[in-house]
Amino acid sequence: MANAGLQLLGFILAFLGWIGSIVSTALPQWKVYSYASDNIVTAQAIYEGLWMSCVSQSTGQIQCKVFDSLLNLNSTLQATRALMVIGILLGLIAIFVATVGMKCMKCMEDDEAQKMRMAVFGGVIFLISGLAILVATAWYGNRIVQEFYDPMTPVNARYEFGQALFIGWAAASLCLLGGALLCCSCPRKATSYPTPRPYPKPAPSSGKDYV
Residue 130 is part of a domain; what is its CATH number? 1.20.140.150
Q: Is residue 65 one of the residues assigned to a domain?
A: no
* Count: domains in the chain: 1
In a domain, 53, yes or no: no
CA angle 33, 35, 38 (to 5 degrees): 145
Q: Whole domain around residue 88: which residue ranges?
A: 3-27+71-184
Q: Which of 86, 85, 79, 67 is nearest to 128 (CA)?
A: 86
| Cβ contact 180:123 at 8 Å | yes
- Residue 6 is predicted with a pLDDT of 83
Residue 103, pLDDT > 60, answer yes
Confidence of residue 33 (pLDDT cuts 50, 70, 90): confident
- Report, as an integer, the average pLDDT of 23-43: 76
User: In this model, does residue 184 exceed pLDDT 80?
Assistant: yes
pLDDT class for 142, splitting at 50, 70, 90? very high
What was the pLDDT predicted at 186? 63
Residue 4 scores a pLDDT above 80: no
The predicted pLDDT at position 36 comes to 62
Q: Is residue 199 part of a domain?
A: no
